[in-house]
Structure 1
Amino acid sequence: MTTEHLDAPESGRATEPPPAQSAEPATEAPVRQTPAGEPAPTALFPLPRTGGDPPEPGPVRRPRGRRAFAALLAADCLAAGATCAAPGVTAGGHLLTVLVPGLLTLTVLNARGGLYRPTALTGALDELPALLGHIAAIWCVLATALAATWPAHALGWSTLAGLAATHSALACAARAAVHGVRRAAARHRPAPTLVVGRGPVARRLVDALREHPEYGMRPVGVLHPAADGPDDARWDAGEDPLPLLVSRDSVLRAVAQDSVRDAVFTDPGTDEARTAELFRLLTGQGCTVWLLDLPASDALPLGHRPLTGPVRAPAAAHLWGFRCHRVVPLGPHASGRLRKRALDLVVAVVALLFAAPLLVACALAVRWADGPGVLFRQERVGQDGRPFVLLKFRTLRPADTHESATLWSIANDERMSGVGRTLRRTSLDELPQLWNVVRGDMSLVGPRPERPHFVQRFSLSYPRYAARHRMPGGVTGLAQVHGLRGDTSIEDRARFDNHYIDTWSLWQDVRILLRTAASLFRPAGS
């Protein structure tokens, strides 16, 4: 689980530095040069900054999505209750008894089918096929439960078909009313929108959104991932020129001051890392991101996918004829993050309790062999670029904090005692990181966190490296269980880490933990 060796960009492999008298001798990663010969900027976010202090990011706003969800959920509940309480339904009292679990199941089915994520032009007829299927399935389950619990009130086939049809008609009517109100509100108060791209498509889109407010979008600025120039530039968009946003600060300022709610990408850009960072900036500020006229899903920037589902396929998923996809980040969403955090807490707490005697033994061994200072503390970069202090058992004496933050360690340092060498070879020096997991600094499984000095350089040398920080750093990870430790390619590690995030599942975490536990019985060291 210990992985700190430098890769030479020419070979993609780590190189052994000449011996030096320091805590962790190493060779620094090369700094990429700009065409002018000046060192490339070290900021992780590729968009340029303006002078002065950056504006504070605005709060993440999701009230529009919450209101739509609440209104549609209320419509579904009213339709279900009205169906069970309709005159002539003799089993109405018993139906109301089983209505709550049935309604919960229907809500889950509708949520999984995307029926609570409407677009500006979503209509009840767009949702009708999926809604009919869900309601029919629920009524079959309710009828079975009713027959098993109260046989005297079992529903006949004709009654069952009538109830399902009534429920479908009421649900469709209620949803049609909700969508009608939403479309009217969008037409009268279109949401401020950023258009990303400056080509002919962007110009036509701006004109279309201005002429057709029923889409609920009002362009307030134009941005391009590769734009350069002053922040006060204007983009010629007919009689009313739009601000041309060219820096990260100007994007944050527009989102905060104009209350931007949507961003439409007409051109994903050629710089994948820069575009991916822009996607994460906008989604992190609560904006809904759309991608226009996408021929294939692999044209998306790293770490994103088009959001598909029953409501995304109909012809309504367009902006004045431009095919439109909503884009969401890959990786665990809210429920997945909660499950991942629960797994981390349970496993880490149990592991700390069972490993307490081993932790004490390791601490005593380090104290006896290398003197005071059992724990080694080092700053690492975690999720979203936030720094934290990583804990390890000290394996090298002396340990210079500054040098260890900017130099790579080597596996066979002469000043490493037998205890330190054993701890590294068995990965027991990583055990204190279980406390980092309990604190929430790290996860059990994820990309290995790196030091800020090297994160900046690797982010410049490897375009996909910065995307690893979409998820908390891990004690172990997919790259580590595939042998990418020590003298291995950083480019390969970044590729494995991003694949892990893009295809995350709780079972994948369990598999990686099991493979890591198995590898402890055949230690190879670092």
Structure 2
Amino acid sequence: MFKLKRYREVIFTSILDFMIILAGWFLFHINYPDSMSILIRYVDIGFFGQGMVISMYWLVIFVVMGAYKKLYLVSRLDEFLNVLKASILGVLILFFITEQTGEISIEDQRSIVSLYGATIFGLLALNRFIIRTIQRYFAQHGKGLHRAIIIGTGHAAKMAYDDLKRNKTLGMEVLGFIQFNGKAPDSSVGIKESEVLGSLDQIGRIMNEWQIQEVLVALEPESKQDLVDVISEVDSPDISLKLLPDFYQMVSGLSKTNQIFGLPLIEVSPEPMPFWEKTTKRLFDILVSLIALVITLPIILVVSIAVKFTSKGGIIFRQVRVGMNGKTFTILKFRTMYENAEENTGPVWAEENDPRVTKVGYWLRKLRIDEIPQFINVLKGDMSLVGPRPERPHFVKQFTEQIPLYTRRLRVRPGITGWAQVKWKYGGSLDTVREKTKYDLFYIENASLKMDAKILINTILTIIKGQGQ
């Protein structure tokens, strides 16, 4: 119920958009009845069915262009521009499709498609404008606001509270404050003890109990060094986390802020990869994995025989790892160690020149051939080609306690290769993991298809040079 409430703007807007687009199909048909067959001439499912198909087409275009991302109290101008960009892309694709029909002149086809695209744009832009205007009206009257809490009980927290209370169109209803240092709020600040919901170590329970959607961090300047610890406690993909920056950050340009009604806010870990890139990444994962498994089939057979007859144990090594959002899965690799290598030691890190590695396993690791079965994990959706390497639950628990923000690695699918693998040396120590985590977090914050391509190219070069370990 809570997650459904979180996406209510997207659900409501997408349903209304679909109905508007379908209405536009009928409206355009009334005025230009002979032109609609140009748009969908090969789909013989009746006029209404054709309207459903082309409405779904437009919906896909809008999803791919990110027109359903962050709709809550979005700027009406920004939304107008998003609708315009999506409409232009939709029209360009229809240009290409209709020009293949050859039934009428290209000029007439372009005129019809342009007019139809303009109709869709006009209807959707008007629809979005009305929705956001109504939403803004309700927000100004304190209705439909996101439930929020403020971390901090000092002057900065009180200032943020007053601004949010005064400017309802910021979209947050502050339910209370969270103590950071364990001390009761200073009476001179103006925050009552009854307004304090609890301390930072209780924030997980508080967020669940109060169904919090937004968390605003407003610490005093002398507490800024503890910001990482605070962010670690509120590390949840379902919570929008914002910071109140200090004056130096704003004037130096070190932080990109959203300036609304005089209250600057920094959004922590906004999702950088738009939906169309996520979709493309997943399709690319599937395509490359299928091709890789087919091409490497002879290698798979040879390696299977080599592993089977050079050491005792199975060909495929299976191990439970932690994937996206903390969900566990079984990773598949060619076995490179002797059977029961950890029987007497329990879970331990792999080392350079690890004595547990077989002679065949050494070369499989060096050429990264041992990871070929992981393409099956990619096909299943447990992994991606690019992402942070998945760890075992034992180590994830240990790292979570010792490395700040480590769990942010779990916001994306783990990968066969990643930024940390191509940029940092191999090693088996907490310090090494700490350094690799920095690279993983950098990847998550800057994820894009371009960066994935860069990582894949570097990985291929590493394999060619035989620098794997």
Aligned residue in 1 for 2:161: 206
Conserved in 1, the CA contact under 8 Å of 2:352 and 2:426?
no
State which of 42, 45, 69 in structure 1 corresponds to 2:13. Answer: 69
For 2:447, the equivalent position in structure 1 comes to 504
Partner Cα distance (2:372, 2:92) in 1: 52
Is 1:243–2:196 an aligned residue pair?
yes
Structural mapping, 1:252-291, within 5 Å: 252-267=204-219, 269-278=224-233, 280-281=235-236, 284-285=237-238, 287-291=239-243
1:220 maps to: 175
Give the C-alpha shift of residue 76 in structure 1.
6.1
Cα shift at 1:255? 3.5
Q: Distance in 2 between matches of 1:136 and 1:373?
A: 56
- Work out whether residues 228 and 405 of structure 2, in 8 Å CA contact, stay in contact via their aligned partners in 1: yes
Whether the 8 Å CA contact 2:374–2:416 is kept in 1: the answer is yes
Q: Out of 353, 360, 365, which is 1:411 matched to?
A: 353
Deviation at 1:223, TM superposition (A): 3.0
Residues 232 and 405, structure 2, Cα contact 8 Å, conserved in 1: no
8 Å contact 1:194–1:262 — kept in the other structure?
Answer: yes
2:347 partner SS: helix
Aligned runs of 1:79-118 on 2, under 5 Å?
Answer: 84=28, 94=35, 108=61, 112=65, 117-118=70-71
Q: Is the 1:448–1:473 contact (alpha carbons within 8 Å) kept by the matching residues of 2?
A: yes
Aligned partner of 2:377 in structure 1 is: 436
Structure 1 residue ranges without an equivalent (≥5): 1-56, 307-311
Task: Report the residue type matching 1:512 in the other structure.
Answer: I
1:420 matched to 2:361? The reply is yes
Structure 1 residues 192 and 511: CA distance shift in structure 2, 3 A: closer
Deviations 1:204-233 (A, max 9, x none): 332344455455432112236xx2549x99
Match of 1:180 in 2: 133
State how far apart, in whole Å, the 2-side matches of 1:426 and 1:238 are. Answer: 61
1:95-139 CA distance string (max 9 Å, x none):
79659879966984798486874443845x675677678779988
Q: Distance in 1 between matches of 2:120 and 2:314?
A: 70
1:166-221 deviation line (CA, Å, top 9, x unaligned): 98876665444323332343325244222233332321332344455455432112
Q: How many angstroms apart in 2 are the aligned matches of 1:446 and 1:420?
A: 24
Rounded to whole Å, the distance in 1 between the matches of 2:89 and 2:275 is 27
The one-letter code of the counterpart of 1:251 is I
* Superposed displacement of residue 65, structure 1: 2.0
Shift of 1:406: 2.5
**AA matched with 1:394:** T
Between the aligned partners of 2:224 and 2:442, the Cα distance in structure 1 is: 22
Structure 1 segment 356-367 matched on structure 2, within 5 A: 356-367=297-308
- The CA deviation string for residues 275-296 of structure 1, in whole angstroms up to 9 with x for no partner, is 4434532xx33x4444445727
TM-aligned CA deviation for residue 83 of structure 1: 7.8
**Kindly tell me: are residues 356 and 264 of structure 1, through their superposed partners in 2, closer, same or farther at Cα, counting changes over 3 Å?**
same
Output aligned runs, 1:127-138, within 5 Å: none
The residue that corresponds to 2:416 in the other structure is: 475
Larger RCO, structure (CA 8 Å, separation 6 or more):
1
Q: 1:253 to 1:494 in 2, by over 3 A?
A: closer
How do 1:294-333 residues align onto structure 2 when only pairs under 5 Å count? 295=250, 318=260, 320-324=261-265, 329-332=270-273
Partner of 1:344: 285
Match status 1:380 vs 2:321? yes
Closer, same or farther in 2 for the Cα pair 1:143/1:389, shift >3 Å?
A: closer
Give the AA of the match of 2:216: V
Q: Is the 8 A contact 1:84 1:92 kept in 2?
A: yes
Secondary structure of 1:403's aligned partner: coil
Contact 1:366 1:395 in 2 (8 A): no
Structure 1 336/115 Cα, relative in aligned 2: closer, same or farther at 3 Å?
closer
- Are the structure 2 counterparts of residues 92 and 321 from structure 1 closer, same or farther at C-alpha, using a change threshold of 3 Å? farther
Alignment-mate amino acid for residue 213 of structure 2: R
CA contact (8 A) 2:153 2:191 kept: no
Q: Distance in 2 between matches of 1:335 and 1:162?
A: 26
Q: 1:208 to 1:78 in 2, by over 3 A?
A: farther
**2:296 is aligned with 1:355:** yes
Q: Relative to structure 1, is the Cα distance of residues 364 and 143 closer, same or farther in structure 2, using a 3 angstrom cutoff?
A: closer
Alignment size in residue pairs: 443
Partner of 2:43 in structure 1? none
Query: Which of 388, 394, 404 is residue 447 of structure 1 equivalent to?
Result: 388
Further displaced range: 505-514 or 159-168: 159-168
Partner SS for 1:329: coil
How far did residue 411 of structure 1 move?
Answer: 0.6
The question of whether the paired residues in 2 share the 8 Å contact of 1:266 and 1:291 is answered with: yes
In 1: Cα distance, 2:82 partner to 2:410 partner: 37
RMSD (CA atoms): 5.0
Displacement after TM superposition at 1:241 (Å): 3.2
SS of the residue 2:377 aligns to: helix
Once residues 98 and 180 of structure 1 are traced to their aligned partners in structure 2, the CA distance between those partners, rounded to angstroms, is: 33
Indicate the SS of the match to 2:235: helix
1:196 paired with 2:140, answer no
Whether contact under 8 Å (1:443, 1:475) holds in the other structure is yes
Cα drift, residue 480 of structure 1: 2.8
Q: Report if the CA contact (8 A) 2:87-2:120 is conserved.
A: yes
Aligned to 2:250, what secondary structure does the other structure show? coil
Task: Report the CA distance between 1:461 and its aligned residue.
Answer: 5.5
Secondary structure of the 2:337 match is: coil
The residue number in structure 1 matching 2:48 is none
CA gap of 1:328–1:77, structure 2 versus 1, over 3 A, is farther
Amino acid paired to 1:270: Q
Give 5+ residue unaligned stretches, structure 2.
Answer: 41-50
Partner of 2:175: helix, strand, or coil? strand
1:237/1:66 CA distance change after superposition, 3 Å: farther
In structure 2, the CA distance between the partners of 1:288 and 1:502, relative to structure 1 (3 Å rule), is closer
The letter for the 1-side match of 2:300 is L
Displacement of 1:405 in angstroms is: 1.0
Q: Percent same amino acid among aligned pairs?
A: 24
Deviations 1:57-105 (A, max 9, x none): 964643432255237636964895698579xx7x575379659879966
What secondary structure is seen at the aligned counterpart in 2 of 1:223?
A: strand
